[in-house]
């Protein structure tokens, strides 16, 4: 059994998308993370070294979204999952990439993709 650490609503500005105007103008992406990890050692030691530094991880995720544009949110979600799985102790991650400004010719509130990835998969 693992514990879950959630970081919700990480707002980033990126230039991802299939269309030229998305690459030129950029747009807001919002990232939600749920990390699966065992927090018992940190609970006993009360030491940041025994858990995930979610402040540092958020910075890495933000940088991962705000650099190196890609066409698809599927590619972006995988990039974010890979970054999270590099953190010591993270057994799995659930990443949701929200693209509220997606170029859709209809009234909508959000486009979101959620993926779950595990270590060694």
Q: Is the pTM here over 0.75, yes or no?
A: yes
Domain of 16? 3-118
Q: What is the number of domains present in the chain?
A: 1
Active site (annotated) includes residue 99: yes
CATH of the domain at 85: 3.30.1130.10
* Choice among 26, 99, 111, 112 that is catalytic: 99
Strand order in the sheet with 92-98: 3-14, 27-37, 92-98, 112-118
* pLDDT tens digit sequence for 8-64: 999 999 999 999 999 999 999 999 999 999 999 999 999 999 999 999 999 999 999
């Amino acid at each position: 059994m693992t514990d879950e650490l959630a970081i919700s609503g990480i707002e980033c500005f990126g230039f991802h998308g299939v269309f030229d105007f998305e690459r030129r103008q950029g747009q807001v992406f919002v990232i939600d993370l749920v990390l699966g990890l065992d927090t018992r050692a940190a609970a006993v030691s009360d030491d940041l070294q025994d858990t995930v530094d979610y402040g540092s991880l958020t910075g890495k995720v933000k940088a991962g979204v705000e650099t190196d544009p890609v066409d698809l949110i599927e590619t972006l979600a995988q990039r974010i999952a890979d970054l999270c799985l590099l953190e010591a102790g993270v057994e799995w991650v659930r990443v949701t990439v929200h693209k509220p400004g997606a170029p859709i010719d209809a009234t909508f509130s959000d486009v979101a993709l959620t993926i779950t990835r595990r270590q060694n998969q």
